[in-house]
Amino acid sequence: MRSSLHKAAVLSAIAIMIIGSGCSSRRESVKREFTAMGTLASIISLDDGDRTAIPSEEATQIAQKEFSRLEKTFTVYSLSSDVSRINRAAGQEWVDVSPDMVTLLAAARRYGELSGGAFDVTVGPIVRAWGFNSGVTPAAPLPPERIRQLLDTVGYGTIEVRPGAARLTRKDVMVDLGGIAKGYAVDIAWDLIQRKGGKNFIVNLGGNMRVSGQPSSKRPWTIGVRHPFSKEEIVGRMTLKDGMAVATSGNYERFVTIKGRKYAHIFDPRTGMPVEGMASVTVIGPSAVEVDALSTSCFVLGMDKAMDLLAKLPGNEAIFIPDSQPMTIWITPGMKDIFECFSQWTSTVKIISR
């Protein structure tokens, strides 16, 4: 399965790992993995003999079906997807699209506005020109005049939606939903699993996760935060209450190497340049689509400006790990009671003053 959201994301290690449910043998959590939207997905569900809850098999089937349905809408690798049709008609006409597409584009525009343009799903031409989703890596970093040209085609303000339809008001604009679609899909699956009777479970799509209930009456779900400089390690864990979601944007996930230098897949839509200086940003909050958009936005904005954005959206908390040595783990004040750092890194944790 291929799509822009995703392609190389199969390789992109899941930034966050589920590190334990604290279950006893009578309350067993079952993990079922599959690929979806070009990445690894999983459903972890508590099979504890509760006949009022749906079995994990059924929860998995629901998620698989929803992810596959949404991929057909959001992928740029199919000419008939909503996204491809909108991109082809850029600067021309309204395109009939699914309600999911309308909802997601409206959300994308909103996060564009809230982040002052740091989050922009029309960054697609820049992402491609730097060698992502196009299969062609440039031989040298893009020259300033090429970047200026490309920036003319970037602007979330060109996205317009109305019930059942969407359009891009400028020619050559291209939507790339890679920074937000997986989170949206997680919310959709989470919601449907709950409505069909799911109680204690986690939906995970490439590290975008949302939890429901808890694995035992005594403790909540715990999710590990990956060490950005050491693939197999985690620096600590977060406890997530019922309904909470988490997403991580990292510079280690996808990158291209140009003239021996690595460039990560997250771009500043205001400059056209790959973002440097940040290794990872993890955001937790009340919805998967919001934390997905926020982790990407905060990665672009850097810590200080990211704090202004987070202040506009209460309920979201973040962990920032700058791309510098020695490693420092910066956490928002509200993260203090959620994130437990492993002892060897405790001295590296700093709380950001608001």
Binding site for Mg ion (CB under 5 A): 179, 292, 295-296
Q: Do residues 215 and 200 lie in contact, with contact meaning Cβ atoms separated by under 8 Å?
A: yes
- Which residue's CB is nearer to ligand AMP, number 60 or number 296? 296
SS3 content of the chain, % helix, strand, coil (to 5): 30, 25, 40
- Which residue's CB is nearer to ligand AMP, number 131 or number 178? 178
Smallest gap from Cβ 353 to ligand AMP, in A, equals 26
State the helix-helix crossing angle for 181-195 and 56-74, rounded to 10 degrees: 140
Report how far residue 301's alpha carbon sits from residue 296's, in angstroms, rounded to the nearest whole number. 9
- Which residue's CB is nearer to Mg ion, number 112 or number 198? 112
- Which residue's CB is nearer to ligand AMP, number 194 or number 296? 296
| C-alpha torsion 56→57→59→63, nearest 10 | 130
Smallest gap from Cβ 86 to Mg ion, in A, equals 20
Signed CA dihedral, 224, 227, 232, 234: sign only: negative
Do you find a cis peptide bond into 326, omega within 30 degrees of 0? Answer: yes
Q: Site for ligand AMP (CB under 6 A): how many residues?
A: 19
Which residue's CB comes closest to ligand AMP?
178
123 binds ligand AMP (CB under 6 A): yes
245 binds ligand AMP (CB under 6 A): no
Residue of the chain from 201, 221, 255, 267 that contacts ligand AMP (CB under 6 A): 267
Q: Is 183 exposed, middle or buried (0-12, 13-18, 19+ CB in 10 A)?
A: buried
What does each C-alpha distance from 290 to 73, 104, 200, 217, 239 come to in angstroms? 19, 11, 22, 28, 18
272 binds ligand AMP (CB under 6 A): no
- Of the candidates 72, 68, 94, 69, the one whose C-alpha atom is nearest the C-alpha of residue 83 is 72
251 binds ligand AMP (CB under 6 A): no
21 binds ligand AMP (CB under 6 A): no
Residue of the chain from 74, 119, 184, 201 that contacts ligand AMP (CB under 6 A): 119
Smallest gap from Cβ 306 to Mg ion, in A, equals 13
x-or-dash string of contact with ligand AMP, 299-338, rule CB under 6 A = -x--------------------------------------
- Which residue's CB is nearer to Mg ion, number 133 or number 296? 296
Residue with tokens 């020619």: 171
* Chain contacts with ligand AMP (rule: CB under 6 A): 119-121, 123, 127, 176, 178-179, 249, 253-254, 265-267, 269, 292, 295-296, 300
